[in-house]
Structure 1
Amino acid sequence: MQSFAQAPGSRPRIGLPVRLSSSSDPDPRVSEANKLFNYIVELVRDGGGDPVLFSTAPSATALASLDGVIIPGGGDLDPRLYGEQPSEVCYDVSPAQDDLDVAVARQSIDAGLPVLGICRGHQLLNVLYGGTLIQDMAPGVVAHREPAPAPGCGPWAWHEVDVQPGTKVAGLYGDGAGVTVKIASGHHQAVARVADGLVVTAIAEDGTVEALEDPDRWVASVQWHPEAHEISAEERVAPFRAFVEVCRAAVKS
């Protein structure tokens, strides 16, 4: 792994590609994604990191200043990225956003930085490694999105996921021996074919891939939203604090 200089006692610098779609978009999912992005930035800061936002692909100098990267949620990836034609159910497909997120993810992985994908970021990492997506999930035994949320529950369907022991995601939740997480779920797409080079570390009861990781480097992803405001403050910040510590440790290694 490539090492990057960090001053003693400094806060790890965590890069995040910004959301390029405007919150004024008539689709409420766009403004919700932008709000969630802001929550992630806050949680990185609360977890001890220094968020660094990118609206264009980072230069070599900017990339070398980072200690880790988070690829956040947002609209749907262009299905052409995984060899399919877009269907009418895809929303907020943005070539500019795809280019930005792919560039940040690819450059960060190539540089040996720890990378965490969230929701769209989870799907993007699978596609980047060569996998495919389900463009629109059929209703099943597990609700992955909630069209009519109950008061106080946010725009989420809630269900539990068992994370495999000894995995990177289990470590983010404070228990390398495995953990059950009640997750905030709000997606209509999911991983179809898992990319070579990634392993599944959590699945839903209906078989939906909920977490992935690269066994050879610190790259991991979750389909759910750990940043959801309906989760308690300590539970929200805990995985981000843990990721910041992963990034701090990577600098020292």
Structure 2
Amino acid sequence: MSESVSESESPVRGSRPLIGISTYLDPKVSWGVWQLPAALLPAGYPRLVQAAGGIAAMLPPDDPSYAESVVARLDGVVVAGGPDVEPERYGAVREERTGPPAPERDAWELALIEAALASGTPLLGICRGMQLMNVALGGTLIQHMDGHAEAVGVFGTHSVKPVPDTLYASIVPDASTDVPTYHHQAVDRLGRDLIVSAYAADGTVEAVELPRPAWALGVQWHPEIGEDTRVMAALVRAAS
């Protein structure tokens, strides 16, 4: 079921929370007459934040030592999807089907996650962002699995089921929800203090969170692709 945010659920106009979103860092992007390095983000991310009542700010990779001061200026943090996490980050040997490393993103986003958790700033991890949350808390990843992506560059759909009495279940209480998905990695060993809050039909972990009173949620799917704003709206409410 898709839901948009009603006016009564949105923050008061003029006091909309500032939500920082991590970005890709691409060595060569084309637009107009230009081919240049770019920090970029699919437009679905800021549009989802805006639809949920927040103001979106892009957080391109930076010196990890700045993460604490950056997060201090934000009301909420979103760690976006993207390339595979370096296996060395969780003590594993790189497998053949693991994608190229993105060390700048890994270092920056791990620092953002740690700063958000330390300060109690509401945190949402999306796909890679969820996986990186797990790694930041000492967990590990399955480096390749089949069946959770239609084809290269094509989002698929599958159902996820919430775990009762979790934050995610309070946000999306439906018995089952179809979500847009595109990934080939997943949570293996769970990071410290994390709990699983949704599963796919095949048992894949689809959402993780920290116990209340923290507001730290990771989802394996891509809410910025679909029409359901409930997860992002919950982050924006927490950030308000």
Taking structure 2 as the reference length, the TM-score comes to 0.82
Residues 210 and 128 of structure 1, relative CA distance in 2, 3 Å threshold: same
Work out the percentage of aligned pairs sharing the same amino acid. 37
Taking structure 1 as the reference length, the TM-score comes to 0.78
Which residue is equivalent to 1:197? 193
Which residue is equivalent to 1:63? 71
Determine whether 1:121 maps to 2:117. Answer: no
Alpha-carbon separation, structure 2, partners of 1:61 and 1:211: 28
Give 1:81-230 correspondences, 5 Å limit: 81-137=89-145, 139=146, 143-147=147-151, 155-173=154-172, 175=173, 178-216=174-212, 217-228=214-225
Q: CA deviation at 1:9?
A: 4.7
Residues 188 and 52 of structure 1, relative CA distance in 2, 3 Å threshold: same
Which residue is equivalent to 1:28? none
Q: Which runs of 5+ in 2 are unaligned?
A: 1-11, 31-39
Residue-by-residue CA offset, 1:208-239 (whole Å, 9 max, x unaligned): 111101114111111011111xx3x4x2x332
Q: Does the 8 Å CA contact 1:165/1:179 hold for their aligned counterparts?
A: no
Q: CA deviation at 1:61?
A: 4.2
Residue-by-residue CA offset, 1:37-90 (whole Å, 9 max, x unaligned): 431112112211111222224454432221111111000000000001212312
Q: CA deviation at 1:8?
A: 8.9
Alpha-carbon separation, structure 1, partners of 2:68 and 2:104: 20
Residues 130 and 48 of structure 1, relative CA distance in 2, 3 Å threshold: same
Structure richer in strand, relative to its length: 2
Alpha-carbon separation, structure 2, partners of 1:134 and 1:145: 15
Residues 218 and 92 of structure 1, relative CA distance in 2, 3 Å threshold: same
Which residue is equivalent to 1:246? 238
| Amino acid across the alignment from 2:130 | H
Alpha-carbon separation, structure 1, partners of 2:101 and 2:112: 18
Residues 74 and 23 of structure 1, relative CA distance in 2, 3 Å threshold: farther
Which residue is equivalent to 1:51? 56
Alpha-carbon separation, structure 2, partners of 1:171 and 1:38: 27
Residues 78 and 60 of structure 1, relative CA distance in 2, 3 Å threshold: closer
- Specify the SS of the correspondent of 1:99: helix
* C-alpha RMSD over aligned residues: 2.4
Alpha-carbon separation, structure 2, partners of 1:59 and 1:196: 22
Q: Which runs of 5+ in 1 are unaligned?
A: 1-6, 26-33, 149-153, 249-253
| Amino acid across the alignment from 2:196 | V
Which residue is equivalent to 2:45? 40
Kindly tell me the number of residue pairs found equivalent between the two proteins.
217
Alpha-carbon separation, structure 2, partners of 1:61 and 1:8: 26
- Specify the SS of the correspondent of 1:69: strand
Which residue is equivalent to 2:22? 17
Which residue is equivalent to 1:29? none
Q: Does the 8 Å CA contact 1:164/1:179 hold for their aligned counterparts?
A: no
